[in-house]
Structure 1
Amino acid sequence: MKSASAAATEAIPLPADRLTASNWTSADGTITLLAWTNEPEHRLVPRPLVAADERVLGYTGYLNEPDIAEKELLETADPAAAVESMGGVFALFRAHRDGFDAATSIARVCPIYFVESDDFCFIGSRALLVHLTARAAETGLTRPPVDYDVMALQPMIRHGFFTNDDTPFRGVRALPADAVLTAAPGRGVTVRERTVPDAEPMPADAAGRHRRVARLAEALVDAAAPLAAHGEPVELALSGGRDSRIMAAVLKAAGVPMIATTHGFADDPDVVLARRIAGLLGLEHRVALTTTTARDDAPDAVTVEHPLLRAHDIVRRCEGMTSAYERVNGWEPYRIVPKTSGSGGETLRGGHLYDQQDLTPEGIRKRVRTIFRSAEGFCTPEANAAADEHLARWAARTDEDGPRVLDLLYLFYRSGRWIVGSHTATTMNTPSYHPFFDNRVVREALALPPGWRASEEVVYLLIASLAPKLGSVPPEGKRWRFEAAGPRRLREWPAWRRRAPVVPKGRTSGFNWRRTFDEPFLALLRDHIMDAPSELWDIVNRRKFEEHFAAVPKGWTNQLWHIYTLSVLLSGVWREPRPELPDVRIPIPG
C-alpha cells in the first residue's frame, strides 16, 4: 500500500494535496482496493468506494442509474452479465474476500490496465500507476525507474495512439473492451471477453428504417439522463461537424439546457456552422478565437506554447499513449459543471467504414493492412515485424466478418485507445459525459448494419427526428454520404442544393499550425528528436526521418509529432518538473 501511494503521487497528474485516498483490505491481507480522487462530495459524484457485506466496489466514469447499478454489482455473482445491460460510461473494480473482479464497458473509454507475475497482480485505471507499483515491488525502490517496452511503442509512430492492447510499460496490458478480469490468490488471472452484438438485417422500407432509428434515438435520450440530473446548463463543445450537432439534437430532445462553445477563427466552417446550429436551437453560443499576434479578423501569426511543454503535459496526462499532436485539458480546480461533446459519434457512422470506398474483400484487407502498417517507411524492420503480429490476427477475421472488421477496429482502438487520453484529462477537472459512448447506446448502434451507418442516413434521420430544424443545415467539408451523388427523388432537389457542404474559403479558415509551420518551429521538434535516447532508433528509421524532415515537409507531419512525443517519453524529462520555456510564434501563410 505504501508503494502504491507513492506511485499515485506521480502517476495521477494532479497536485498531491488535492487527492483524497480511500482503501479496503481483505481480512487475510491478500487483497487491497485503493482509490484516489480529487472530486468533492456531491450527490452526482460517485463515492470512491462503496461497500456491502464482504464486497467493495469502485468505478471510474459514471453509471446512468448509480443506486440500482451499484447494488446489483455488489450482489451479482457474474459481473459480466450485469455489465451488459447497464447504461453509462465506466470501468468497474470489485474486491471481496476470495478475489478481485474488473470489467470494461463495450466502448472502453474508461480503461483498465493490469500486470501479473508469480507473486502478485496489480490492476488499475492508470497504466503508469500499475507499472510503478509493480516496479516498486520488484526493485524495492520508492521511485523505481520506468521499464519501457520500446517495441510496443511502434503504433505510436503510425497513429499517435495504440492499435492493440499494449502499453509503453513492459508487462502492462489494457483489458480488452467488454471484458471481465478475475484474479484470485493462488489461481492467477482470467480474462473473459464478451461477444459483440450481431448486426440486424437492413430494414426493408423507409418506415422500417425510421422505426429502427427511433430505438437508437430513445437510447441516446436515455443516455442523456445523467446530464439532465444536474439541472443546469451543460457546456457542449459544438463544431460544424456531424457528431456535435447530433449531440446538440440529443440534448435538446432530452430537455437538457446547454451552452455551446466553439474554437476557431471567424471564417472557419466550424464557427460558421456552429453559430447557425446554435441559433436554430436557441442556444447561447461562445466562440474562443485562436490567440494571435495581430487583429483577430486579419491575423498574420499564431502564438503557441513551446512544443516541449505540450509534449511534457500530454505524456504526463496520457501516459505516453497519446501524441502531442493532440491537445488535452490541463489541470484546474474541480468544478461541478457538466460537459459533453460529439466524441464517439463515429460509431454511429460506421467507424472506419465511413471513409472506406472499396468494400470488396481485397479492399477491406488493404485497409486493415494500412491500419497496422501505416507509415511503415518511418519504422524499422523490427517495428514493422511487431505490427505484423497484430495485423495477422485481424486480417484472418476479414474473411468471416468482412466490412465489420473495420467497424470493430474503430470501436476497439480508435475509440477504445485514442479517446482515452482526452477523456481522462477532462474528467480530472469536471464531470464529463459521453452519451455516444454509453454502454447501451453502443450496443444499440452495433445492432444496425454497419454499411447503413456508414451511409450517414442513420445520423441524418436521428437529427431529423430529434431536432427537425437542423435537418436543413449543411454539413461541413463534404455532403452527407447517402446523397453525395445527388438527391434520391426529384422533389428533393431544392433541399439537396441548400445542403451543399460548407468548405474553408478564408485565409485562416483551413489553417492548422500543427501541420503548417516554418523552419524555426521544425528545428525545435527535429533537434529534440535527434538528441533522443538511442532506444528511439530501435523503432524509428533514422535515415528516413533525417531525409524527410531535413526541411519543412509537405506531408507526414503527424509522424513528426508522434516521434517527438516518443522522444520526450523515452528521455524521461516528463518525470521532472515542468520547465519554463517561451511561447513560439508561427506565421500564417499569405
Structure 2
Amino acid sequence: MQTEYMPMRTSVTKSDLSTSSGPLRASRQTAPDAGGAAQPDVDCAGAIDNPYFLVRKRGERIETRGRSTAEFGHQIPSTTHHVADGIFAHWHWDGTRLAVKNDRYGFYPLFWFSPPGGGVCISSSLVSLLEQGAPTELDIEALSVFFRLGFYVGDDTPFSGIKTVPPNAVFEWENGKLECHGRYPQTLNATALSRDEAIDRYIDLFAKAMAKRAPDSDAFAVPISGGRDSRHILLELHRTGFEPGACVSALDNPPDPNEDARVAAALCQKLRLDLVIVNQQLSAFSAEVRKNPKTHFCTLAHGWYLALADSLNGRFGCVYDGIAGDVLTQSKFLNPQLDTAFRTRDVNAICDALLSRQTAGYSGIRGLLKGDLKAAMEPGVATKRLAMEVEKHLDGPNPVASFILWNRTRRAIALAPYSLLADIPRVYAPFLDHDLFDFLTTLPSSMLLDHSFHDDTIARAYPNFANFPYVDKAAPPADDTKVRARFLADAARMFLLKRPSGLMKNLLPRAKMLTSVLSLGHINPWVSPFILYLDQIETLMEKKRRVPSD
C-alpha cells in the first residue's frame, strides 16, 4: 500500500524525479517490512563485495593478491594545500611499492592489518580484511571506550590487529617495510576578528566552498534535515541558481518525533521545491543487521540512514552532505563544563566529563558482557585509552570541537555519507573545504558557547529565512511501543534457539525477549542493541576460526 504525499512545489508539480537508474517518487513510501518477516540474515561476512590488496614477502619472493589499484570518493584540486581537497582514498601497487593516499581528514574509511611475513593488507571494508586473514583478537580498551561513547577514537576498531588509515596518511610498503602515520592540520591561533567580522568571513568562505563544488548537471540530491548544515547548503544552492534533482528527508522509527521531515517540508515549500520523504523500509532490528557490517562495526548509529541511502544510491551522481558544520560552528557537545575541563588540561577530568555523557547507555551494556569482554567494564580501562587521544586535542581555540571532529565525526558520523552512500561518486562536504575548515578552526569556543553562531550566519546570508524555524527540541517523543515489541520479537526469533554466546550473558536478555513474545507485545522491556552488534562480531570470529590460515 502507498499513501500519497502531496508535492511541496506550488507552481510546478514534479512528483516523479527521474534519474538514470529509475524514478525517485515524491511520495511517502510505506514499509513492506511492517508485518511479519523472516529471521534476519546475520551472516554478514562475505556480504560486502569490497576490494582489497594484500602484499607480503615469502622468503625472497613477494606475494600479492587482490586489486592492485583502487580509488574511492572525489578529489578537488587545491591551490593552498599539498593534498587535494575533497573526500577520497586510493591505493596503487606498482610492482615493488604500495602507496596509499587519503583525504586531509581521513573521512573516507580505509582499514589495514599486517599479516605474518612483514606484509600489509588494505581494504575499504573491515569484513573483507577478516576474510583475508586479519586476526580476530578483540581490542578491550577500544571496545571499553566504544561501549561508553558510541564511537571509536583514534584509529581503533573492535579488533586489535585492524586499524583505520589515519588522516592525510603517509602509508607506504616496500621490500617488507611499512611506514604508516597520519598528518593532522597544524593547530592555528584564535582569530582576531570580531564576531560580526567572523560571520561575514564565514559567509564568504562558505560561498566559495560551494562554488568549488557546483553541480555539473541537475542529477544531484540534497538530503534535508531540520537543522543548520543542510539548510545552509540548500540556501546557497538556491541563491546561486542551482535546483536539486531531489530534496530528500527520511523518517525515523519512534521514539523520534520526526521533526526533521516536518521542518524540511516547510523549508522546501517556501523555496518552491519538491521534497521526497522516505519512510523506513526495514524494522529497527533488520536495519541494525544490515548497517553494522556496512559501517564496519564502528558505530551504533545510522540504522535509520539506510532508507535514505537506498533511495539515493545509484540514482544520483552527486549528493551534498553537511558533515562537520555542526561541530565546527554550533556543536551540541560544546558546553561550559566540557570547555572548562579542556582548558584546565586535566586529562582525567576531561575523560570523566566525556564518559559521564553516556552513563545511561553504558548501564545496558554492563549487564550484558561476560568472558573476555568483562575486562572492558573494569574502572579505568576506558579512561586509559581515552586519555591518550584527549592529549592530542588540548591546544587550539576550540579543543572540544577538535576532539569531537577527529573522533566522533571522523570515525562514526562520516560512515553515513562515505560508507552507506558508497554508490554515489561525489558526496560533497563543503564544510570540510580546506580554506573554510582552516578558518572555522580558529573560532574560539567563547564565540560559540551561546549556540547561535551558525543561526546568525544563515540569517545574515539569507535574510528572507532569518526567522524560519528549526526543529523543535521540545517536541514529545513518538510512542515506540510497537517498535520495541517488533525489535524483541525479531531478536527472539534469532536468539531463543541460538546456542549460548561466549561474549554475552544469555539468560536475562532471552528472558526479556520471551516475556515480550508471551505477552503478545504488551510488555516490552528494553534490550540493548549491543546484543546484535556483539552477536555479529562473535559470528565473524567463529567463521574465522573455521577457516584455515594460509
Q: Kindly tell me: are residues 205 and 273 of structure 1, through their superposed partners in 2, closer, same or farther at Cα, counting changes over 3 Å? A: closer
Separation in 2, partners of 1:107, 1:11:
29
Separation in 2, partners of 1:420, 1:35:
24
Separation in 2, partners of 1:279, 1:172:
47
Structure 1 position 234 matched with structure 2 position 220: yes
Q: Kindly tell me: are residues 277 and 289 of structure 1, through their superposed partners in 2, closer, same or farther at Cα, counting changes over 3 Å? A: same
Matched letter for residue 305 of structure 1 = S
Query: SS of 2:226's equivalent?
Result: coil
Partner of 2:106: 108
Partner of 1:52: none
Matched letter for residue 426 of structure 1 = L
How many angstroms does 1:260 deviate by?
1.6
Matched letter for residue 110 of structure 2 = I
Separation in 2, partners of 1:405, 1:554:
45
Which is further off, 114-123 or 150-159? Answer: 150-159
Structure 1 position 278 matched with structure 2 position 264: no
Partner of 1:446: 441
Separation in 1, partners of 2:180, 2:539:
35
Query: SS of 1:87's equivalent?
Result: coil
Query: SS of 1:360's equivalent?
Result: helix
Identity %: 17
Q: What do the CA deviations read for 1:513-562 (whole angstroms, capped 9, x no partner)?
A: 4x87445643543675675753323xxx77997899997899996x7113
Partner of 2:202: 213
Partner of 1:64: 76
Separation in 2, partners of 1:275, 1:331:
20
How many angstroms does 1:350 deviate by?
5.1
Give the alignment of 1:559-574 within 5 angstroms: 560-572=528-540
Give the alignment of 1:283-362 within 5 angstroms: 283-289=273-279, 304-305=282-283, 307=285, 309-323=286-300, 326-329=303-306, 334-349=314-329, 351=331, 353-354=333-334, 359-361=339-341
Q: What do the CA deviations read for 1:482-519 (whole angstroms, capped 9, x no partner)?
A: xxxxxxxxxxxxxxxxxxxxx536xxxx3274x87445
1:250 corresponds to which of 236, 244, 261: 236
Partner of 1:82: 82
Q: Kindly tell me: are residues 95 and 458 of structure 1, through their superposed partners in 2, closer, same or farther at Cα, counting changes over 3 Å? A: farther
> What TM-score results when the alignment is normalised by the length of structure 2?
0.70
How many angstroms does 1:120 deviate by?
0.9
Separation in 1, partners of 2:396, 2:187:
15
Matched letter for residue 407 of structure 1 = A
Q: Kindly tell me: are residues 475 and 173 of structure 1, through their superposed partners in 2, closer, same or farther at Cα, counting changes over 3 Å? A: same
Q: Kindly tell me: are residues 305 and 106 of structure 1, through their superposed partners in 2, closer, same or farther at Cα, counting changes over 3 Å? A: same
Partner of 2:406: 412
Matched letter for residue 472 of structure 1 = N
Give the alignment of 1:505-584 within 5 angstroms: 510-511=477-478, 513=480, 517-519=483-485, 521-525=487-491, 528=494, 531=498, 534-537=501-504, 560-572=528-540
Partner of 2:12: none
Separation in 1, partners of 2:338, 2:180:
39
Separation in 1, partners of 2:461, 2:314:
32
Q: What do the CA deviations read for 1:425-449 (whole angstroms, capped 9, x no partner)?
A: 2122564333234455433322322
Matched letter for residue 105 of structure 1 = D
Separation in 2, partners of 1:462, 1:33:
51
Structure 1 position 368 matched with structure 2 position 345: no
Structure 1 position 393 matched with structure 2 position 391: no
Partner of 1:13: 48
Partner of 2:376: 383
Query: SS of 1:460's equivalent?
Result: helix
How many angstroms does 1:205 deviate by?
5.5
Q: What do the CA deviations read for 1:393-420 (whole angstroms, capped 9, x no partner)?
A: 245467x438844212211221111124
Confirm or deny: 8 A CA contact 1:334 1:429 kept in the other structure: yes
Confirm or deny: 8 A CA contact 1:249 1:467 kept in the other structure: yes
* Cα RMSD for the two superposed structures: 4.5
Separation in 2, partners of 1:572, 1:23:
20
How many angstroms does 1:114 deviate by?
1.6
Q: Kindly tell me: are residues 529 and 463 of structure 1, through their superposed partners in 2, closer, same or farther at Cα, counting changes over 3 Å? A: farther
Matched letter for residue 101 of structure 1 = A
Query: SS of 2:406's equivalent?
Result: helix
Give the alignment of 1:120-199 within 5 angstroms: 120-135=119-134, 147-149=136-138, 151=140, 152-199=142-189
Confirm or deny: 8 A CA contact 1:89 1:110 kept in the other structure: yes
Partner of 1:485: none
Structure 1 position 421 matched with structure 2 position 411: no
Confirm or deny: 8 A CA contact 1:109 1:419 kept in the other structure: no
Partner of 1:263: 250
Separation in 2, partners of 1:512, 1:444:
43
Q: Kindly tell me: are residues 277 and 392 of structure 1, through their superposed partners in 2, closer, same or farther at Cα, counting changes over 3 Å? A: same
Partner of 2:458: 463
Query: SS of 1:354's equivalent?
Result: coil
Separation in 1, partners of 2:398, 2:524:
30
Matched letter for residue 368 of structure 1 = L
1:93 corresponds to which of 91, 94, 100: 91
Q: Kindly tell me: are residues 544 and 468 of structure 1, through their superposed partners in 2, closer, same or farther at Cα, counting changes over 3 Å? A: farther
Matched letter for residue 382 of structure 1 = A
Separation in 1, partners of 2:300, 2:237:
31
Structure 2: gaps (5+ residues): 1-43, 517-521, 545-550
Confirm or deny: 8 A CA contact 1:331 1:429 kept in the other structure: no
Separation in 2, partners of 1:425, 1:224:
21
Confirm or deny: 8 A CA contact 1:156 1:162 kept in the other structure: yes
Separation in 1, partners of 2:62, 2:536:
37
Separation in 2, partners of 1:81, 1:176:
18
Aligned residues: 468
How many angstroms does 1:215 deviate by?
4.4
> What TM-score results when the alignment is normalised by the length of structure 1?
0.66
Separation in 2, partners of 1:276, 1:242:
14
Q: Which structure has greater helix proportion?
A: 1
Confirm or deny: 8 A CA contact 2:330 2:453 kept in the other structure: no
Confirm or deny: 8 A CA contact 1:166 1:174 kept in the other structure: yes
Q: Kindly tell me: are residues 555 and 214 of structure 1, through their superposed partners in 2, closer, same or farther at Cα, counting changes over 3 Å? A: farther
Confirm or deny: 8 A CA contact 2:397 2:444 kept in the other structure: no
Confirm or deny: 8 A CA contact 1:91 1:105 kept in the other structure: yes
Matched letter for residue 59 of structure 1 = E
